Structure 1
Amino acid sequence: MRWMRLWLWPLALLWSLALAFPRVGVHEGFTRLAFDLPSKEVRHTLAQEVGALTLVLEGVSAPAQDQVVNSREVASVQTLPEMGRVRVVVRLKGPVEATVRRFSDPERLVVDLALKAQTAPSPPAAPAALPHRAPKPPRPVVLLDPGHGGVDPGMVGYVVEKEVVLDVALRLKRLLEGEGVEVRLTRERDAHLSPDKREDLSRRAALADSSQVNLFISIHVNATPTHTGRGVEVFYFGRAQDPRVLSQVIRENGGGELGKRLTQEAQSVAERILSDIVAQANQRYSQRLAETLGRKLSQATGSPYRGSFPGDFFVLRYAKVPAVLVEIGFGDHPVEGRRLAEPAYREKVAQGLLLGVLTFLANGAYAR
């Protein structure tokens, strides 16, 4: 597993998500500008003069903004919409070196700005300067949400959902921390966040709406009315298109009339995503995370991968980082349900989720 430490190089990309164009991240030794682009056809030009850097993006639109940054390198960033393009003026605090990179799927442009080293003559007897060391990237923070808990047992079949998902989350926490990832939990014991289902889900969702978290993974156990379903499914936030998925969303949102009401609230948020370019970008990252987790979990356990789907899950509705709800298996299936009761199988589940998280980070899929 140590080879997975190769993911460390892009982790500086995973630190600050601002609802702006560009997204601005301030790091030790550099300032990062990240632009979410609608397509590969967008072209850019970069020009630098004394005190300012100008970036022009052809074929993209964005609202006018003036962001105060006040980092070592940058005083402010101004976004100026023009006919068929956007001009971004970066006001600098000194001469900088600009590193520009393009990423695909989803398409984005990343510009790193670092102050140029100021050279001065050294006294003849001065010792040689130590070699420059690149700043260490910040540790990523993963928020794990073991679903249900306390007064809410979740599904009950060959296993009780709230017990299985807590055990898997604690195992995954141990594995991720062994790889240098910081892990937080919405619950660490058999407890609810509130006896009221709406308040409970709202508190979990609020924890994912934080600049201190990089990924949010809500862990659940699946079930079907026929007790014949088997396999892994992963969901990201969006309008549920499949009636089967909608039924599952209602169940996870509390079931019955409460589940329907909370689903309707989440649907109104999902509709707003269609007009929010930043929310759309985060939805694409969440979809990529869902696909990666699902496939790695299936490979580790041998359970079929049933796919990743958009869903109006109340707990995912306000996440500003890649966020998914993963159904690790069907607790009412006569084979898979019994497997989920076995500690060795739960360890395989945790290993699969670990590989999914590390692969997602290693691919640099989420530039921030």
Structure 2
Amino acid sequence: MRWPLWLLGMWSLALAFPRVGVHEGFTRLVFDLPSAQAAYRMEERDGLLTVLFPGLSAPAADLLVNSPEVASVQVVPEGGGVRVLVRTRGAVEVRTSRLQDPERLVLDLTLKKGGGAVPAPAQPKAQAPKPPKPVVLLDPGHGGVDPGMVGYVVEKEVVLDVALRLKRLLEREGIEVRLTRDRDAHLSPDKRADLSMRAAMADSSQVNLFISIHVNASPTRTARGVEAFYFGQAQDPRILAQVIRENGGGEVGRRLTEEARSVAERILSDIVAQANQRFSQRLAETLGRKLSQATGSPYRGSFPGDFFVLRYAKVPAVLVEIGFGDHPAEGRRLADPAYRERVAQGLAEGILAFLAQGAFAR
């Protein structure tokens, strides 16, 4: 469960691991440790600060901080340790200190100042400033230890190839493209942590669109066509089963779907989230139709779904199923590089059509 923390002067919230305090100019995270020998390591990338505590245990937690420096904090228990994912609101400076009696690690996070940057040359008054490039974040699903669906194709291989082709097409149009992965690799062997790290990249002021690319499957191996999803509560039992599979499958998938569903329920009372959901729905519809037109594969529709990877996106975000990899005809087509190029072209046309509507903001 995520708990809102409202900034009223200086406050703190007493939680076991970590304790969070918001102060004037910085956010403090306090980790209570069992001994002075407790080790940790820390890394920062793309608005995500990760702190690893090997050998420790702590319950899973999902905290909405919403301070000027920190958006949220997640605690992810892993085999052999604990991973803490801190989503920041920009590049941060981290000041660390170890205190004793009791033993604890203190992290003070402040936003980096931009004073060290070299000023750009002054533009002539008659010259209008160039508009910023749209930034599209592509998420090739699965990867590494997680192959995704396996049929006539392996999902992790197909979606990576399509994402790389799509990146090339969008860059030709002057769009900046980022990838959650650019090779056969997972972000974490733990499914919850892996999806959380992908989601964190979409929770950024530097991204305009988030598109997660997947290959579908059906129990009967007879379904074919393309589908697109935006974040919301899945109503159809078939869609719910599909959501659970993409969220990791089995007990893990059911648990992560329930967590995502609790976030989806809060959209009903959040005007900003509702607006973003409408943009996401429009993006899903546009991508699905353009993909169907480019490939000839039937368009099966766009639907709400409790996808864990979409739950924190503050920009239009969708998950696209580019076809059924276990269908005898469509699965074999997905194995064809020429067909994958048409898939990438369809997705590119959908993205360009959506951006042309001006339904995004930096």
2:197 aligns with 203
1:150 maps to 2:138: no
Supply the distance in 1 between the matched residues of 2:203 and 2:361 (Cα, whole angstroms): 18
Q: Secondary structure at the match of 1:366?
A: coil
Supply the distance in 1 between the matched residues of 2:238 and 2:314 (Cα, whole angstroms): 27
1:355 maps to 2:349: yes
Supply the distance in 1 between the matched residues of 2:173 and 2:155 (Cα, whole angstroms): 27
Q: How many residues align?
A: 241
Which string of whole-angstrom CA distances, capped at 9 and with x for unpartnered residues, describes residues 188-212 of structure 1?
Answer: 0000000011110000000100001
Alpha-carbon offset, residue 367 of structure 1: 5.2
2:280 aligns with 286
1:213 aligns with 207
TM-score, with normalisation over the residues of structure 1? 0.64
Alpha-carbon offset, residue 364 of structure 1: 1.5
Contact 2:208–2:361 (CA<8 Å) still a contact in 1? Answer: no
Q: Secondary structure at the match of 2:150?
A: coil
Q: Secondary structure at the match of 2:300?
A: strand
Alpha-carbon offset, residue 131 of structure 1: 7.3
Alpha-carbon offset, residue 169 of structure 1: 0.2
**1:48-63 paired onto structure 2 within 5 Å:** none
Which string of whole-angstrom CA distances, capped at 9 and with x for unpartnered residues, describes residues 128-176 of structure 1?
Answer: xx77222211001000000000000000000000000000000000000
Gaps of 5+ in 1: 1-67, 69-129
Select the residue among 243, 257, 260 that pairs with 2:251.
257
Quick one: which amino acid aligns to residue 256 of structure 1?
A: G
2:290 aligns with 296
Quick one: which amino acid aligns to residue 231 of structure 1?
A: G
Alpha-carbon offset, residue 322 of structure 1: 0.3
Select the residue among 218, 238, 251 that pairs with 1:244.
238
Which string of whole-angstrom CA distances, capped at 9 and with x for unpartnered residues, describes residues 101-149 of structure 1?
Answer: xxxxxxxxxxxxxxxxxxxxxxxxxxxxx77222211001000000000
Select the residue among 213, 219, 229 that pairs with 1:235.
229
Supply the distance in 2 between the matched residues of 1:220 and 1:367 (Cα, whole angstroms): 26
Quick one: which amino acid aligns to residue 165 of structure 2?
A: R
Alpha-carbon offset, residue 216 of structure 1: 0.2
Supply the distance in 2 between the matched residues of 1:364 and 1:192 (Cα, whole angstroms): 33
Q: Secondary structure at the match of 1:318?
A: coil
With a CA cutoff of 8 Å and minimum separation of 6, indicate the structure with the bigger relative contact order: 1
**1:27-42 paired onto structure 2 within 5 Å:** none
What's the Cα RMSD here?
A: 1.4
Which string of whole-angstrom CA distances, capped at 9 and with x for unpartnered residues, describes residues 43-80 of structure 1?
Answer: xxxxxxxxxxxxxxxxxxxxxxxxx9xxxxxxxxxxxx
1:223 maps to 2:220: no
Gaps of 5+ in 2: 1-67, 69-123
Q: Secondary structure at the match of 2:328?
A: coil
| Percent of aligned pairs sharing the same letter | 86
1:193 maps to 2:161: no
1:180 aligns with 174
Quick one: which amino acid aligns to residue 142 of structure 2?
A: H
Supply the distance in 1 between the matched residues of 2:269 and 2:153 (Cα, whole angstroms): 42
Q: Secondary structure at the match of 2:132?
A: coil
Supply the distance in 2 between the matched residues of 1:367 and 1:323 (Cα, whole angstroms): 13
Select the residue among 312, 318, 328 that pairs with 2:322.
328
Alpha-carbon offset, residue 335 of structure 1: 0.3
Structure 1 segments, 4+ long, off by >4 Å, are none
Q: Which has the larger radius of gyration?
A: 1
1:266 aligns with 260
TM-score, with normalisation over the residues of structure 2? 0.65
